[in-house]
Amino acid sequence: MSTMRRHSKKRDAILSCIRRSHLHPSAEWIYTQLKPEHPDLSLGTVYRNLALFRESGEIVCVATVHGVERLDAVTEPHAHFICEQCDAVIDVDAPCDDLRQELEQQYGCTVQRSEMLFRGVCARCKNKDI
């Protein structure tokens, strides 16, 4: 009983950590954030819960950036920009409906979900180079 409650407390902490962060966090980042408050938390527990959240559709994996999976609790389709220099994953607030319409009308496909991803150098990194 007490193990169950502890488990679900960690589960909630992991999920709300992803929801609070707009950084599209990685498993290790979540682990580092929660460890001080949950000293018995293991990276394995974080990974296990993340797999469950993905299965239940509560989070999605946006992309793999330099070998690290980045997560998002915003599951409505939206585009992302990934900076190859600082690994920032930025939400792009622009509609991606045109391509979807094209696919459905011109190609007769039914789109169930979409992922739109841009990669390059963000404004902050660009300014650092000057």
**65-84 mask for Zn ion (x: CB under 5 A)?**
-------x-x--------x-
CB of 45 to Zn ion, least distance (A): 24
The answer to the question of residue 114 lying near Zn ion (CB under 5 A) is no
Question: Six-digit token pair at 95?
Answer: 């509609």
Question: Are 99 and 85 within 8 A, CB to CB?
Answer: no
Q: Which of 91, 103, 111, 116 binds Zn ion (CB under 5 A)?
A: 91
What is the footprint of Zn ion within residues 2-61 (CB under 5 A)? none
Residue number with CB closer to Zn ion (85 or 101): 85
Pick the closer one to Zn ion by CB: 77 or 111. Answer: 77
Please, what sign has the CA dihedral across residues 82, 83, 88, 91?
negative
Q: Please, what is the minimum distance in Å from the beta carbon of residue 88 to Zn ion?
A: 5
Tell me how far apart the alpha carbons of residues 111 and 107 are, in angstroms, rounded to a whole number. Answer: 11
Burial of 100-112, coded b for 16+ CB within 10 Å and e otherwise, reads: beeeeeeeeeeee
Residue selected from 8, 64, 75, 85 as contacting Zn ion according to rule CB under 5 A: 85
**Pair 103, 109: CB distance under 8 Å:** yes
The contact set with Zn ion (CB under 5 A) reads 72, 74, 83, 85-86, 88, 91, 122, 125
